[in-house]
């Protein structure tokens, strides 16, 4: 028996969320009194794989086939399932990101493993196996029992944190034949913004709503984000109006995020907006209306005009840095 974590890489590099996944899975393995195996798919340099050892990985299986450098959910799911079988994994753990969401359900069907997405913490109990997840778009938590022998979880970002646990890593190539039939989806073009902080990875997010009044007014938002090293986000009407791109829309129908710090400028705090941000560690609200619902979910609030408060905040941060 064992537990296995699938460590996704991005152009050969892991992210903090990968190390959080390894930290979580190691703690789960300890809870179950068993060992952890980490699986990596695609080409990743040995030094990078060794970083997994900082968080408790002592065995890493790698499938370093260049054909697998970009995610193909069908092929990846096939490999995850085969690797899980080869180490007789009882629990399979992935990050709850785009790739985890694409792969875990497929592995669930392949292995008849009960699947719970966006788990919030270590299992509440092991027998029966019960995990906690956010339901009703952040309005409640559900305790979900997994009844099958094999189990597959994706874990929510920032649910566990990083736990240092230095280990010597044994890296092993996991040899298997790759079925070329599984590559029916062809990538014909790819664009990536290299200069911007990615919203789903960001520790700090500066978000703005209709209170900005016009798309020309975004400079103070961008300047604050820049001094904080933050990603920018927005409310739904702002992206629906085309003031900002769809990728910035957070909330029930946009992205669900859980940064350390979420700054909401000129956002009323509608229930559907809050659904996407309620797991943020700290929320700051800036709004002219002292009755705005955003203040009831915020930790710190300023009643004031965004066009005054944002530049002041940027200045105060610049001063505190120098």
Partner 1 sequence: MKILVCISNVPDTTTKVKFKEGDSLFDDSGVQWIINPWDELALTRAMELKEDAGNSVNEICVIHVGGASADATLRKALAIGADKAVRIDACPADAYHVAGQIAEYLKENPFDIILSGIESSDYNGSSVGAMIAEFMDYPGISSVTSVNLDDDDIQINRAIPGGKQVLKTEAPFVAVVQKGIATEPRIPSMRGIMMARKKPLEVKPAVELEVLTESIKFELPQEKGACKMIDSESAEQLVELLKNEAKVL
Ligand X SMILES: Cc1cc2nc3c(=O)[nH]c(=O)nc-3n(C[C@H](O)[C@H](O)[C@H](O)COP(=O)(O)OP(=O)(O)OC[C@H]3O[C@@H](n4cnc5c(N)ncnc54)[C@H](O)[C@@H]3O)c2cc1C
Q: In the range 192-231, which residues lie near ligand X by CB under 6 A?
A: 209-211
In a 3-state reduction of DSSP, which class is residue 208? Answer: strand
Locus of tokens 């300023």:
302
Task: Decide if residue 252 touches ligand X (CB under 6 A).
Answer: yes
Least distance CB 128 / partner 1 (angstroms): 8
Which among 20-28, 38-46, 209-217, 251-259 is the span making contact with partner 1, rule CB under 8 A? 251-259
- Please, are residues 79 and 86 in contact by the beta-carbon 8 Å criterion? no
User: What does 163 bind: ligand X, partner 1, none (CB cut-off 5 to 8 Å by kind)?
Assistant: none
User: What does 190 bind: partner 1, ligand X, none (CB cut-off 5 to 8 Å by kind)?
Assistant: partner 1
Task: Decide if residue 237 touches ligand X (CB under 6 A).
Answer: yes
Which among 78-86, 116-124, 225-233, 299-307 is the span making contact with ligand X, rule CB under 6 A? 299-307
Q: Which of 148, 161, 213, 289 binds partner 1 (CB under 8 A)?
A: 148
User: What does 62 bind: partner 1, ligand X, none (CB cut-off 5 to 8 Å by kind)?
Assistant: none
Q: Give the number of residues written for the chain.
A: 322
Q: What is the DSSP letter of 314?
A: H
Which among 54-62, 105-113, 162-170, 211-219 is the span making contact with partner 1, rule CB under 8 A? 105-113
User: What does 210 bind: ligand X, partner 1, none (CB cut-off 5 to 8 Å by kind)?
Assistant: ligand X
Measured between alpha carbons, how far is 216 from 9 in angstroms, rounded to an integer?
37
Residue 318 phi/psi, 5-degree rounding, is -60, -45
User: What does 308 bind: partner 1, ligand X, none (CB cut-off 5 to 8 Å by kind)?
Assistant: partner 1
Which among 19-27, 47-55, 138-146, 165-173 is the span making contact with partner 1, rule CB under 8 A? 138-146
- Of 63-102, binders to ligand X (CB under 6 A) are none
- Of 74-93, binders to partner 1 (CB under 8 A) are 74, 77
CA atoms within 13 A on the CB side of 160: 29
- Please, are residues 28 and 5 in contact by the beta-carbon 8 Å criterion? no
CA distances from 245 to 189, 238, 240, 278 (A): 19, 9, 9, 22
- Of 106-135, binders to partner 1 (CB under 8 A) are 106, 108-110, 112-118, 130, 133-135
Q: Which of 287, 295, 298, 313 binds ligand X (CB under 6 A)?
A: 287
Q: Which of 12, 142, 161, 215 binds partner 1 (CB under 8 A)?
A: 142
User: What does 32 bind: ligand X, partner 1, none (CB cut-off 5 to 8 Å by kind)?
Assistant: none
Among the listed residues 258, 260, 254, the one whose alpha carbon sits nearest the alpha carbon of residue 234? 254
Q: In the chain, how long is the greatest CA-to-CA distance? A: 62
For residue 236, what is the enclosing H or E element? Answer: helix 236-240
E strands present in 239-294: 261-265, 282-287
- Please, are residues 141 and 178 in contact by the beta-carbon 8 Å criterion? no
Task: Decide if residue 251 touches ligand X (CB under 6 A).
Answer: yes
Angle CA 300–162–260, to nearest 5: 15
Q: Which of 25, 268, 278, 314 binds ligand X (CB under 6 A)?
A: 268
Measured between alpha carbons, how far is 191 from 224 in angstroms, rounded to an integer?
26
Task: Decide if residue 260 touches partner 1 (CB under 8 A).
Answer: yes
Residue 180 phi/psi, 5-degree rounding, is -70, -15
Per the structure block, which two tokens stand in for 120? 């919030």
**Binding interface with ligand X (CB under 6 A):** 209-211, 235-238, 251-254, 266-268, 270, 272-273, 276, 286-289, 292, 305-307
């Amino acid at each position: 028996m064992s537990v296995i974590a699938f460590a996704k890489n991005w152009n050969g590099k892991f992210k903090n969320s990968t190390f959080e996944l390894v930290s979580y899975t190691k703690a789960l393995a300890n809870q179950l009194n068993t060992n952890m195996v980490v699986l990596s798919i695609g080409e990743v340099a040995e030094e990078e794989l060794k970083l997994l050892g900082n968080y408790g990985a002592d065995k890493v299986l790698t499938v370093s086939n260049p054909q697998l450098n970009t995610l193909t959910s069908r092929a990846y799911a096939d490999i995850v399932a085969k690797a899980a079988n080869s180490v007789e994994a009882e629990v399979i753990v992935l990050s709850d990101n785009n790739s985890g969401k694409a792969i875990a359900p497929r592995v669930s069907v392949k292995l008849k493993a009960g699947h719970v997405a966006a788990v919030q913490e270590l299992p509440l109990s092991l027998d029966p196996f019960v995990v906690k997840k956010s339901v009703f778009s952040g309005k409640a938590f559900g305790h979900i029992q997994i009844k099958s022998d094999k189990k597959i979880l994706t874990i929510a970002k920032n649910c566990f944190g990083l736990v240092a646990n230095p280990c010597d890593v044994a890296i092993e190539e996991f040899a298997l034949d790759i079925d070329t039939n599984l590559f029916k989806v062809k990538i014909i073009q790819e664009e990536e913004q290299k200069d911007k902080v990615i919203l789903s990875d960001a520790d700090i997010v500066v978000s703005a709503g209709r209170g900005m009044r016009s798309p020309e007014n975004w400079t103070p938002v961008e300047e604050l984000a820049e001094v904080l090293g933050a990603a920018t986000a927005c409310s739904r009407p702002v992206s629906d109006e085309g003031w900002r791109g769809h990728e910035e829309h957070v909330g029930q129908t946009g992205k669900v995020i859980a940064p350390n710090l979420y700054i909401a400028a000129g956002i009323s705090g509608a229930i559907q907006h809050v659904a996407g941000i309620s797991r943020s560690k700290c929320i700051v609200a800036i709004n002219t209306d002292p009755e705005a619902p955003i203040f009831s979910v915020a930790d710190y609030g300023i009643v004031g005009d965004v066009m005054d408060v944002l530049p002041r905040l940027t200045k105060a941060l610049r001063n505190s840095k120098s």
